[in-house]
Amino acid sequence: MFPQQYPDGGFIPLTREAVRGITHLGGTILGTTNRNNPLRFPRANADGTVEFVDRTDEILDAFRLQGIDALITVGGDGSLEIANALHKKGCRVIGVPKTIDNDLEKTVITFGFDTAVAFATECLDRLHTTAASHGRIMVVEVMGRYAGWIALNCGIAGSADVILIPEIPFDIDVVVQKIQQRDDQGRNFSIVVVSEAAHPLGGKIIAQSQFGRQERLGGIGEIVATELEARTGKEARLVVLGHLLRGGSPTAFDRLTALRFGAAAVRALAEGMHGVMVALDPPNVRYVPLEKVAKRTKTVPLDSDVIQTARDLGICLGDRLER
């Protein structure tokens, strides 16, 4: 779509030698972007207005020109929506679920999630020390888009006292009561984990719209920290983990999952399959239709045993106190 940036066509043969030694690396050697979705590509008109056009036919033309007969799409909800659109236009496509948010339907887990949760948990472990030493409230904002999987899992594993996720709108008064309850029990500090899309009862998700990009979430952590400091009289500090969760060396689980997904994707094409996404259905990998994944978000079910585990441990989820 931007040929001037790729004078050589942008093609690199992925031989065994080319990919040797990448298993322990974070990120992606292919490069990536979440700007300018080809299904809704912004185009400026002569009168100064902007319209959004579908440019997927140009992608298919480029494939034919280069002799590309199949595509493996590695990514999250946006990537798989594009993959499904290309599939409907006759392109042989296999989807591979990769996102730290773990918010894709039909797969138990996406690779990237375990690494993000592991790092966030390590950060919470470290923050316990400084929080206890200074008697502070530490508010930790984590990514996750519109699903609370990262916040909930790292919060439980990292012994958080409060976890706020998008699926459960929170009452700040309940959170304040939890902090005060801990003070009454002789615990002079608290750890509060906040998902970037968490929002109060009757409130909206904080997001910034940017032209040609996904909505940028974030900012709720600062609001929560400010409110807690004002209402409790205790010092509250905000830590935004942000893009730290998206980098670093992947965990053994993520390495294994990525390798299994990659091998399964190639195997599917070799066997004549297309229009499907590789999914983890323990103990096996299976294939699900792309149309059952595209434009859908897997949020945390309110009856999830993970939510019940948090409540059983006395963790406040912002809607009520757990005794």
pLDDT (average), residues 120-127:
97
pLDDT (average), residues 81-108:
97
pLDDT value, residue 8: 66
pLDDT (average), residues 93-101:
97
pLDDT > 90? residue 109: yes
pLDDT (average), residues 95-102:
97
Q: Is the four-CA dihedral 68, 69, 75, 81 of positive or negative sign?
A: positive
- The string of pLDDT tens digits covering residues 28-64 is 777 777 777 899 898 888 888 889 999 999 999 989 9
Structural domains present in the chain: 3-111+250-292 (3.40.50.450), 113-248+301-312 (3.40.50.460)
CB 80 within 8 A of CB 57: no
pTM, two decimals, is 0.91
CA distance 125 to 96: 32
CA 183 to chain centre: 34
Q: How confident is the model at residue 214 (pLDDT cuts 50, 70, 90)?
A: low
Which of the residue ranges 11-20, 156-165, 268-277 would you say has the lowest mean pLDDT? 11-20
- The string of pLDDT tens digits covering residues 262-308 is 999 999 999 999 999 999 999 999 999 999 999 999 999 999 999 99
Give the burial class of 270: count Cβ atoms within 10 A of its Cβ; 0-12 exposed, 13-18 middle, 19 or more buried.
Answer: exposed
pLDDT value, residue 1: 45
312 is an active site residue:
no
Angle at which helices 77-88 and 56-66 pack, to 10 degrees?
70
pLDDT > 60? residue 212: no
1 or 159, which is more confident: 159
Q: Which long-range contacts (CB under 8 A, 24 or more apart) does 105-108 make?
A: 105/292, 105/293, 105/296, 105/297, 105/298, 106/277, 106/279, 106/288, 106/292, 106/293, 107/277, 107/278, 107/279, 107/280, 107/281, 107/288, 108/279, 108/280, 108/281, 108/282
pLDDT > 60? residue 145: yes
β pairing state of 236-240 and 207-208: unpaired
Give the burial class of 260: count Cβ atoms within 10 A of its Cβ; 0-12 exposed, 13-18 middle, 19 or more buried.
Answer: middle
- The encoded tokens of residue 80 equal 């798989």
- The string of pLDDT tens digits covering residues 217-245 is 778 999 999 999 999 999 999 999 988 99
Bond from prior residue into 283 cis (ω within 30 degrees of 0)? yes
CA distance 157 to 220: 22
Pick the catalytic residue from 54, 69, 101, 281: 101
CA distance 186 to 283: 45
pLDDT > 80? residue 216: no
Residue 98: DSSP 8-state: B
Q: Is 256 helix (H, G, I), strand (E, B) or coil?
A: helix
Q: Is 35 helix (H, G, I), strand (E, B) or coil?
A: strand
